[in-house]
Amino acid sequence: NSGVQISPTGTLMLKHFNLSGVYTCSIVYKLTAMQPDKNLIIKYLIYAYSDPKNYYEFTAQYHAAPCNSSHNTSFEKTLLQILSKLVAEISCEVTLIKSECHHVKMQRGGLQNEIFFTFSVASLDREKHNSLCQQSSCDASHHRLNKAKHLIERFFKQQVEVSRKSSEPLPQIYYIEGTLQTVWVDRCYPGYGMNAQIHPDCPECCVICSPGSYNPSNGIHCLRCDSSLIYGATKC
């Protein structure tokens, strides 16, 4: 069918499939025209895989208004709009993971209110399930994510610089210098997982979960499930 091609040199190529499992290849050939047919049967295992969904996770702390104040909610919306606009032109998106306000005891300043923001920055072009990106587009995606990271880090750095240069007193809500942290995160699609022991040739690939395992979420590991009898199980 259209998903199977044979190259001029005899390479068998399977494209656009997710039917993992044992494949049988039956070959009939002759060494010379006068000899009888010879049969060769080859069995091999094929695993579907996809590239991981990479994103950056950021955490940052802000000095805040009282935790029940509507000013904090309004500021949160404004901050997300600014960050989203920063990375929109390079086809990335910002998603708020959580926002928590806490009373923090300072060594010399008593109690103060702080907002702890956690948000992610992801590329928009790799959300298609089971899509295997070409190397050039993968590289482009990584490049754009790194550019988005640089833009966001510069944004927070500029907030500190503006505060230092200003003679005005600090506003009620402001970024606390040095609290921005960045983590690179890999995630696999449901039904896929990473396993360097089973798949040493591609330790960073999200390979389809084998029978006896499953992945119900966007984690990176296939979990054991003895009752799972299919490839790519998302439930046990």
Split at pLDDT 50, 70, 90, the class of 113 is very high
Give the lowest-confidence range in 65-74, 110-119, 130-139, 142-151: 130-139
Whether residue 134 is predicted with pLDDT greater than 50 in this model: the reply is no
* Global pTM value: 0.65
With cut-offs at 50, 70 and 90, classify the pLDDT of residue 18: low
CA 78/CA 159 separation, integer angstroms: 14
Chain-centre distance of CA 228, in angstroms? 25
Q: Are 174 and 48 in contact (CB under 8 A)?
A: no
Higher per-residue confidence, 80 vs 49: 80
Q: Within 10 Å of residue 102's Cβ, how many Cβ atoms?
A: 14
Of 13, 18, 2, 231, residue with least CA distance to 131: 18
Angle CA(45)–CA(50)–CA(56) in degrees, nearest 5? 150
Return the domain boundaries, the chain: 4-46, 55-125+134-185, 188-235
Please tell me which residue, 4 or 211, carries the higher pLDDT value.
211
Mean pLDDT of 15-42: 87
Taking the CA of residue 69 as centre, how many other CA atoms within 13 Å lie in the half-sphere pointing to its CB?
17
Residue 1 has pLDDT above 80, yes or no: no
